Amino acid sequence: MTQPSAPSPDSDRSASRPTVRLRPKAEARAIRHGFPWVYADELVTDRRTRALAPGVLARLEDSERRPLGLVTVNPNSKIICRMLDRDSGAEVDQAWFAARLRHALALRTRLFEAPFYRLVHAEADGLPGVVIDRFGKVAVIQPNAAWAEALLAPLAAALVEVTGVTTVIKNGTGRARGLEGLPEETVVLQGAVDGPVPVTMNGATYMADVLGGQKTGLFFDQRPNHAFAQRLAKGARVLDVFSHVGGFSLAALAGGAESALAVDSSAPALDLATRGAEAGGVAGRFSTRQGDAFAVMEALAEEGAQFDLVVCDPPAFAPAKPALEAGLRAYERVARLAAPLVAPGGYLGLCSCSHAADLSSFRNASSRGIGRGGRRGQILHTGFAGPDHPLLPQLAESGYLKALFYRMMP
């Protein structure tokens, strides 16, 4: 007589998890083809589903009860499910995280000689809602989804195991956490930090405030756009507006710019930019001006100032669709004020990190603003985030950064 086989651990684990199901009209095919999210109006949200704790792991099925994979559920979020694994029985433990991190690390070590990069870019690296930036022996985790907050301990342990970093910081700030119902806090999970971390990129030295700076302390995404601007900057007078810690200005000086002026509303950011200039040996050609960027550009125009290269890298004016119209007006205003500050034959770089503003809309707003500023320009180059910020083809939101470089006509 044949003995029945024992159930596998995976099947036991899958059976013990809650099940959530797509509505009949929801598009299961998109999930099967790689789309990583389920919106709240696509899921059957009965009393049992609404009672699930934010971040719980569950089996996702289509309306015909066919399995789609393992998801994390947050009933309080517009993105109610995030796909974690095609295997509904996968164990999301330190080993699971380590496998994802090794795959991500293999790309970054192939791309960069020094360990300064974005190690994990959320959904595109198979860890939805998770951002990890690496600064040598220091790593900063942004757990922007409830599931990552709940499983932060095995994630951090896997990060140390795979990369060998000695300091791990949780940066729990930002708009995304609020949408997930998570509190804001920054905590050193392991090791210690005694000040800003020096980071070398494109021959420049930046000072990253990994505890109190914007985001994780430095924007790695602009690295290729810094490099392109650097090619335009040799012998040039450079204006870097919304400079943060000197992203474009310090790269320009490393490329042989005659001088660079960094403008930002944040005194701490400008102090870090100055310290970066000193560390890079270019402090004698670097200056700062604190104030509202729009007001400073207006003042510079009244002073008759002109520069050979002007770059504007503002914050996200259109982080979501409701802000799109106002955001595009703000980008147009940036271009209108910046264009007259460019000397004839000089160059203008305009950037947007807004998810809601696609490239075409941003380009139209920028070109319109240049025209309203009384100038004409030709587009030389369109840039995007660096390859340590990979794009998930099924998720347009993972490709947020746009950079346009114009040459201004005489």
Catalytic positions, written as ranges: 353
The partner residues of 377 in beta bridges, in order of sequence, read 408
Structure token digits, residue 90: 């996968």
Cβ-based neighbour number of residue 251 at 10 Å: 29
Rg (CA), the chain: 24
Length of the chain: 410
Strands (E) across 157-236 are located at 167-172, 185-190, 197-201, 204-208
- Phi (first) and psi of residue 127, to 5 degrees: -130, 80
b/e 335-365 (16+ beta carbons within 10 angstroms → b):
bbbbbbbbbeebbbbbbbbbbbbbeebbbeb
The partner residues of 261 in beta bridges, in order of sequence, read 239, 287
Give the ranges where 303-385 is alpha helix by DSSP (H): 324-338, 359-372
Structure token digits, residue 95: 């080993």
